[in-house]
């Protein structure tokens, strides 16, 4: 996100006050370890976003030990992002 002010969020016990990473239109939860639970992490991101009544996309950055990181989000959010990307790409090619 060139030019965006992306930074680490303020951490507290329950994680509901601020995402792990603050960036435009995403509520980011980051989890790492031997076997982090992706569904629980996404549920945490959704609950925190809803509690704050925000319209950002709940997103999980998950890193299993000694594995490449992955990103998890709900299918509807993914499809909306792909649709926007597709339209942007199509407009650039015209």
Among residues 21, 62, 27, the alpha carbon closest in space to that of 46 is found at 27
State yes or no: pLDDT of 65 exceeds 60.
yes
pLDDT digits (tens, 9 = 90+) for 74-83: 999 999 999 9
What is Dmax (Cα atoms) for the chain?
50
pTM, whole model, 2 decimals?
0.78
Measured on CA atoms in the order 25, 55, 8, 36, is the torsion positive or negative?
negative
Measured on CA atoms in the order 71, 76, 79, 84, is the torsion positive or negative?
negative
pLDDT digits (tens, 9 = 90+) for 28-62: 999 999 999 999 999 999 999 999 999 999 999 99
Average per-residue pLDDT in the chain? Answer: 87
**Percent of the chain topping pLDDT 90:** 61
Identify the residue with better confidence: 19 or 43.
43
CB atoms within 10 A of CB 90: 9
Q: Where are the domains of the chain?
A: 7-93
């Amino acid at each position: 996100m060139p030019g965006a002010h992306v930074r680490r969020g303020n951490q507290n016990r329950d994680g509901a006050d601020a995402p792990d990473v603050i960036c435009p239109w995403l509520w980011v939860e980051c989890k790492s370890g031997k076997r982090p639970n992706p569904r629980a992490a996404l549920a945490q991101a959704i609950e925190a976003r809803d509690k704050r009544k925000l319209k950002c996309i709940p997103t999980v950055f998950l890193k299993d030990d000694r594995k490449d990181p992955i990103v998890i989000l709900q299918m509807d959010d993914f499809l909306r992002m792909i649709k926007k990307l597709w339209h942007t790409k199509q407009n650039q090619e015209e």
